[in-house]
Structure 1
Amino acid sequence: MTDQPKTYQGVNVINGFKWPRHVYDDTPDNIHNFEVREDDVFVLAYIKAGTHWTQELVRNIVCEGNKDNAKEDYGSDPKGPIEFGDNYKKYDSFSTEKPRVMMTHARVDVLPKQVFEGKGKVVFVIRNPKDSAVSCWHFLSERRMLEEYEEWDSCFEASLKADVLYGNWFDFNLPYYENHRDKKNFLFLTYEEMKLDHKGCVVRISDFLSRPLSEEQVDKVVQNTSFSNMKANNRVPFFQLKKEKGERTYALLRKGVIGDWKTRFTVAQNERFDAIYNQRMEGSALAKRIVFET
């Protein structure tokens, strides 16, 4: 008896760019032309950079630290980024009584164009690229996206290419940071800043959203969005194109630590990555904010 060949979800290639299969051919254009409201909040980040955590944090700020209100107000929102399936259509019909808090991994040429005209606000999170690569590998290998993402060594190689899923870290983050970091409706935070100064970042986000909180409310938001509470309560259905019997769920949060890249990067890989990093980040203002270990 021979082993059955392994099967993979595969990706959807749109205009030469790799998206997950549940991003459809017309989705990037529809996202780019999405009608933005003045009070919209987009939580934007490269994959595995703290997007779900930040979205929950923003929701708790909007609800002034009341986790029951946050669950009631946002518990029925679409799961996953606005570009998944028909999520953007669902948001389009939402009530105007509360701000829409939408997460996305849309690159700069796909994000709703009205955002660049000053409508809505963007909370942008950037995680150091080494930890991001390792976290992406765990995420993509578990979900069997492509064969090249199954083993760490091949996933590392893929992460350096321009045509990796969602594009590589540099091509995604640098155009945003270099061109929009001074825009009034963009707030850039790093994952490491959020880990090392959770409370301070809550205050920064609440000020950015013009939703000042009392000291007690800030403490409640911090407690509600601690890693342990988020990991215990943040499981979502496994997104599949065809529903199977017995719906699987998976945890969105794994370790949430700074420096996990050391568990996977070989010395040779680290030296190679550092050389590419130094070249790509030369002259970038972002380099001063990136932290690889504490």
Structure 2
Amino acid sequence: MTDKLTDFQGVNVINGFKWPPLVHDDTPDNIHNFEVREDDIFVLSYPKSGTHWTLEIVGNIVCEGNKDKVNENYRSNPPGPIEFSDNYKKLNSFLTEKPRVMMTHARVDVLPKQIFEGKGKVVFMIRNPKDNLVSYWNFLKEYQYLEEYEEWDSCFEASLKADMLYGNWFDFNLPYYENHRNKKNFLFLTYEEMKIDHKGCVIRICDFLSRPLSEEQVDKVVENTTFSNMKASNLVSFFQEKEDIGKRKYTLFRKGIVGDWKTRFTVAQNGRFDAIYNHRMEGGTALAKRIIFEI
């Protein structure tokens, strides 16, 4: 009988922190010292927070809603987070006349330090932690990193600990939001805000990036980045082809709804999570005012 553990990829533990296996031992330091250009745009989030959706919106804004330009300018970008493999090295060779649009799940002490000096711009996406966890679990069980992430109950338990892959939701998001939400080169949006007012959030991103678009162009960006259009587009096949690691392919766009956590959380788990959430977000935490669990 085959040992089940041989099916799992494992993780890379660097300085006590769990990263996916594609992150090399020297990558966190190299990312922190990454040379940032003034026109760089980083899409930053905890995994499964609407990262690819936001990345697609930003790419469409830069290309004024022109699909052909998006394909030409950004489908050649290294897919996946800049911390994967040697993506950050490849990005150094990109032409200077085109703004680099990059995604990352780097925690606050790993993010390029020049960003905190005001270089580049960061579009930071946050998703309510319950939906985020359900989406993350579906991702993790497909990628098969660790056995403890395979079943919902064990993944739920793991998500509450500091040594979760990429850390837990609170440890990742709170330091960013509490310390950098008023920085001029950071824009914080929530997944739920984008679901409620897709066009309004597109305009907010345009304003933040100082890239004004006409009404027609804004509408085109919105149309190109609806959930149904992205799921049907070549974006899905592109990322699945490029991120086929060890012959495992994951679902880039699954449901894209708010409130899916109700299909997975038990009453006991929900009560336990609420208690932890209330404790971690107490004391007038500004982020708590923006988190909603259903619309």
TM bucket normalised to smaller: over 0.9
**Does 2:85 match 1:85?**
yes
User: 1:65-85: CA deviations, max 9, x gaps?
Assistant: 111111111111111000000
Please give the secondary structure, in 2, of the residue aligned with 1:251: coil
Q: List gaps (5 residues or longer) in structure 1.
A: none
Please report how far the alpha carbon of residue 250 of structure 1 lies from its aligned counterpart in structure 2 after TM superposition.
3.6
User: 1:209-255: CA deviations, max 9, x gaps?
Assistant: 0000110000000000110111122232263666xxxx664431100
Q: Which residue of 1 aligns with 2:221?
A: 221
Q: List gaps (5 residues or longer) in structure 2.
A: none
Superposition map of 1:46-61 within 5 A? 46-61=46-61
Separation of aligned partners in 1, 2:29 and 2:245: 21
**Does 2:238 match 1:239?**
no
Q: Which residue of 2 aligns with 1:293?
A: 294
Q: Which residue of 2 aligns with 1:212?
A: 212
Separation of aligned partners in 1, 2:70 and 2:213: 15
Superposition map of 1:27-38 within 5 A? 27-38=27-38
Q: TM-score, normalised by structure 1?
A: 0.96
Q: Are the equivalent residues in 1 in contact too, given 2:143–2:249 (CA < 8 A)?
A: no
Q: Which moved more, 1:227-236 or 1:168-177?
A: 227-236
Equivalent position amino acid for 1:105 in 2: H
CA RMSD, aligned part only?
1.2
Superposition map of 1:1-294 within 5 A? 2-6=1-5, 7-233=7-233, 234-235=236-237, 236=239, 237=241, 239=243, 249-282=249-282, 283-294=284-295
User: 1:162-194: CA deviations, max 9, x gaps?
Assistant: 000000000000000000000000000000001
Separation of aligned partners in 2, 1:285 and 1:228: 32
Separation of aligned partners in 1, 2:167 and 2:64: 36
Q: Are the equivalent residues in 2 in contact too, given 1:22–1:241 (CA < 8 A)?
A: no
